Structures are given as C-alpha cells and as structure tokens.
Amino acid sequence: MNRIVTVLVALLVAQGALALFLNMTGDDYSAYQPEEKLLTVDLKTVNSITIEDADKTLRLEKSEKQWQLPALANFPVSEIKFEQVLGKLNQLEKGWPGAKTEEAAERFKVSTKQFERKLTLYKGEKAVQTLFIGTSPGFRKVHVRIDGDNNIYTVEFSAFELSVNANDWANQSLLHVSENELTKAEFPSFTLKREGETFIVENLKESEVTAQQEARSLAQKSERINYLQVLGDEEKESYNQSVPEFAYILHLKDG
C-alpha cells in the first residue's frame, strides 16, 4: 500500500514539475489548431509567385489564361508541374510545431537570412504570404516556417521540387499534337497521309506498299516533339534557323 502511495505522489510531483516548466517556457499552444493549412492564402487568388534560393530568384506570373515564365519570354508554365508542386504545398497542414526560437530558425535554415527555398505569393505588387523551406530531417521531409510566425513545422515535401531553373517549369507538351488532329506529315523526301485509322506514303510506285507499323510510329513521333530547354524568342546566328538541319510540316484538321 505504501508503495502505491509513493508512486502516486511521485506522479503528482512529476505532473506539477511539467506544468511549472511549461508555464516558465511561455510557449502557449492553447489556441493552436494542428490541422490548419500551412498556406492560408489560396493560390487561385494570387497572380505572381517568386521562388528563391541563395543565388537565384525565379518568377512565375499569371496571365488571363495561364501561368507564364518572364525569364523565358513568357513561355507557358506546365500545368501538371504547377499542380504537382504548388498544389501540393497548398494542401499541406502544419502539424505540431517542433521549435520556435530564432536559433532554431537559423539551424533549420528557415530564417529570413538562411533558407533552402523562399516562396513568396503576391496579389498585384503586394506580398501576401512567404514560406521558408529549410533542412530535411528525413526522406521527403523538410522544416518550414511562415514569415511572421515563429513556429517551425515538419512537412512532407522536398526543397528540390521548388526549382529556381525556369526550364524545369516550362510546358514540355506545348508542341504536342493530338493524334486525331494530324492529317498529313510532309518530310523532305516523302509525305505521310492519313487514310482512316492508318497512314500511307503518298505517290508510291505500283510495286511499293506502305510499311504500316513504321508509318504509324513515325507519325506518332512527329506529333510529340519534346525539347531540352527554351532558348528564348530572339533569333541568333548560332541557332542556324535560316538553314535548318532538318524540317517537316504537319497538317492538322483545323488547318
């Protein structure tokens, strides 16, 4: 019996000590909601975004129809990339804060001076919210902090997803053509023409026939042009556009 009383007394003492410690630290989480969104500004309401690392800043701007890259002559941003990365950030919840001191912000690289990435959302010329992304405590996890909030959180994300390289955000499918839209493909030495669901080589000799598998494969490749990077909208002699190495023409249903 005495042993039970002793254990209960010890628990009460420990509980009292914990309460005293929390009061002394001054950390008040009583109004904190662990399931609230990390970003309180909806991306649908912003018209400009900047992404920064220690050396570079990338800007994404929203036109009437789409997001664009001013660094690449307003080349369209990939909708898939935008939704995968920024859409994911828009859905992240805070969880419980792991730290809140200035020293911790420096250590986890989520301070105003030290960060892995800095994401700023704008409405017009006004910055409405800034997110600092810092070090990684584990696989696909990062420390984050909202500017104006001392609390530091851990969320499922990677700083590398917020690239500051404009070409990483460029719409790689811009030159893709829908398979059903292609009616003819003119190459330097022959022309493929659609006939129903197949393609034939025009002006063959009587003894010649179209190799259907190869024709279909070539038509599909011509419809889906991919590129490594966007160079801009200025002509340069080094691009050799006046005398291209290879060129072909696609004819579509809509002309």
Which of 131, 148, 168 corresponds to the end of one domain?
168
Residue span of the structural domain in which 84 resides:
43-168
Lowest mean pLDDT among 62-66, 133-137, 178-182, 195-199: 178-182
Which SS3 state, helix, strand or coil, does residue 214 take?
helix
One domain, residues 83 and 190? no
**Which DSSP category does 78 fall into?**
P
Instruction: Over range 87-111, report the average pLDDT.
Output: 93
Examine residue 16 and state whether it is found in any structural domain, yes or no.
Answer: no
Which of 110, 145, 168 corresponds to the end of one domain?
168
One domain, residues 192 and 82? no
Model pLDDT, residue 165: 97
Model pLDDT, residue 34: 57
Examine residue 238 and state whether it is found in any structural domain, yes or no.
Answer: yes
Model pLDDT, residue 6: 43
pLDDT digits (tens, 9 = 90+) for 106-131: 999 999 999 999 999 999 999 999 99
One domain, residues 58 and 96? yes
Instruction: Return the higher-pLDDT residue of 192 and 239.
Output: 192
One domain, residues 55 and 140? yes
Which SS3 state, helix, strand or coil, does residue 170 take?
strand
Q: Which band of pLDDT confidence, cut at 50, 70 and 90, is reported for residue 24? A: very low
pLDDT digits (tens, 9 = 90+) for 127-156: 999 999 999 999 989 999 999 999 999 999
pTM, 2 dp:
0.77
Instruction: Return the higher-pLDDT residue of 33 and 216.
Output: 216
Beta strands in 27-140 (DSSP E): 48-52, 57-62, 67-69, 75-76, 117-123, 126-133
Model pLDDT, residue 35: 72
Model pLDDT, residue 22: 39
pLDDT at 41 over 60: yes
In whole angstroms, give the CA distance from residue 131 to residue 109. 12
One domain, residues 164 and 188? no
Using alpha carbons, list the distances in angstroms from residue 160 to 91, 95, 117, 131, 155. Answer: 18, 22, 9, 15, 14
What residues have CB less than 8 Å from 119, skipping those under 6 apart?
Answer: 49, 50, 51, 52, 89, 130, 131, 133, 162
Instruction: Over range 180-186, report the average pLDDT.
Output: 92
Q: Which residue has the tokens 């249903």?
A: 253
One domain, residues 184 and 221? yes
pLDDT digits (tens, 9 = 90+) for 217-235: 999 999 998 888 888 888 8
Q: Which band of pLDDT confidence, cut at 50, 70 and 90, is reported for residue 65? A: confident
Beta bridge partners of 142: 155
Q: Which tokens in the block code for residue 131?
A: 């997110």
pLDDT at 14 over 80: no
Question: Residues of the chain with pLDDT > 90: what percent?
Answer: 65
Model pLDDT, residue 227: 84
User: Around 35, how many Cα atoms within 13 Å sit in the side-chain half-sphere?
Assistant: 0
Q: Which band of pLDDT confidence, cut at 50, 70 and 90, is reported for residue 255? A: low
In whole angstroms, give the CA distance from residue 171 to residue 68. 9
Model pLDDT, residue 21: 37
pLDDT at 239 over 50: yes
Q: Which band of pLDDT confidence, cut at 50, 70 and 90, is reported for residue 73? A: very high
